[in-house]
Amino acid sequence: MTAPRLTPLAARLPDTVPFVGPEAQERQLGRAFRARLGANESRFGPSPRAVAAMAAAAAEAWMYGDPEMAELRAALAAHHGVTPAHLIVGEGIDGLLGMLVRLTAGPGDAVVTSLGAYPTFAFHVAGYGADLTRVPYRDDLEDPQALLDAARQTQARLIYLANPDNPMGTWHDGAVIEAMVDALPEGSLLVLDEAYSDLAPAQALPRLAMDDPRVIRLRTFSKGYGLAGLRVGYALAAPALIRAFDKVRNHFGMGRVAQAGAMAALADQDWLTRVRAEVATARRRIGDIAAENGLAALPSATNFVAVDCGRDGDFARAVLRGCIDRGLFIRMPGAAPLDRCIRISVGTPDDLDVLAEVLPQALAAARA
């Protein structure tokens, strides 16, 4: 019997995934988590209008979804004041990142990101054989100047930056991003991940021309809109780049239920406003719980809070294990010095009651 006939590149790749899901951890533990505060999902749920639209569309699930996603793209275009030609919809930002890397960075091409930034991007870069350069964060923020310097040195095809940032929750003023775009090296494309834009202050969002060929902006329905289970993301860019996605995308990858849910969620901006208020309240409570335990919460413009455990990564990992062992699902950054923190998604009052109970116990166990 022969081994799988993988390509040389695939055979060299490690057997890893960017994230271990909470379900896998529950199976390992043999019990369900008491509170699920690790995946940056919206515990406040989707708009009831979106739920109703998905329920109605379920009866039509025997049909494939519109491969052009014309209605959803038209609604998004109207929302952002652009044309549908400036938009591509895909299977979450994760799926769009994979397509983008496939389109723009092949074996040996240089790509730049931050050490500790969203790991799915690095996963795709490795999968297509490009060479990844990582630069450190600066003061718990991604460092635009270091990214630009590395891009010039390597002649990078892509520069990845998330604003607001995951895993730290920090953010740059939009003017900083605008200046970064103006300073991009010739031939570099800025991949601006704005997954948390719906929850960020207005000043965090740059004012960029959608026809600018130097940048692509990525958005999602998974965070503020509460539709992580549907996997609906979209990208905004110059039409020439958007057209290129048709060369590689899964044309039937977005089902009818997902399209209906996303359109209804987008139409219910009152629900998004309510979620923003709930997120702000929960962020404050996480900060209070951290302070009660002698820890410092970093300022956040997202639906999670990074909490500095005050020591090194080994200590923070011990705190993380203590929380998981006690039924609280959270995560943490994977690279030093960011890994001195744990990352806690916002949740309902009941969820945060579990955090308030478990965190001091996990800290005590880690210190012991």
* In the chain, domain spans: 8-45+270-367, 48-268
Residue-wise burial string across 277-314, b where 16 or more C-beta atoms lie within 10 A, e elsewhere: ebbeebbebbbebbeebebebbebbbbbbbbbbeeebe
Residue 89 and residue 95: Cα distance in Å, rounded? 10
pTM: 0.95
Query: What confidence score (pLDDT) does residue 19 get?
Result: 84
CATH code of the domain made up of 48-268: 3.40.640.10
Which of 218, 230, 265, 283 has its CA nearest to residue 37?
283
Instruction: Dig out the tokens for 208 from the structure.
Output: 């960029």
Query: What confidence score (pLDDT) does residue 50 get?
Result: 98
Report in angstroms the alpha-carbon separations of 191 from 209, 236, 272, 314: 15, 10, 25, 32
Query: What confidence score (pLDDT) does residue 20 get?
Result: 86
Query: Residue 16 contacts by C-beta under 8 Å, 6 or more apart in sequence?
Result: 123
Query: What confidence score (pLDDT) does residue 1 get?
Result: 57
- Asked whether 278 and 226 are in contact (CB, 8 A), the reply is no
How far, rounded to the nearest angstrom, does the alpha carbon of residue 270 sit from its chain's CA centroid?
23
CATH code of the domain made up of 8-45+270-367: 3.90.1150.10
Report in angstroms the alpha-carbon separations of 277 from 138, 197, 199: 29, 15, 9
Residue 367 and residue 228: Cα distance in Å, rounded? 35
Helix H or strand E encompassing 89: strand 87-90
CA-angle at 170, arms to 166 and 174, nearest 5°: 105
What is the chain's pLDDT, residue by residue, as a tens digit (368 residues)? 577 888 989 989 888 888 888 999 999 999 999 999 999 999 999 999 999 999 999 999 999 999 999 999 999 999 999 999 999 999 999 999 999 999 999 999 999 999 999 999 999 999 999 999 999 999 999 999 999 999 999 999 999 999 999 999 999 999 999 999 999 999 999 999 999 999 999 999 999 999 999 999 999 999 999 999 999 999 999 999 999 999 999 999 999 999 999 999 999 999 999 999 999 999 999 999 999 999 999 999 999 999 999 999 999 999 999 999 999 999 999 999 999 999 999 999 999 999 999 999 999 999 99
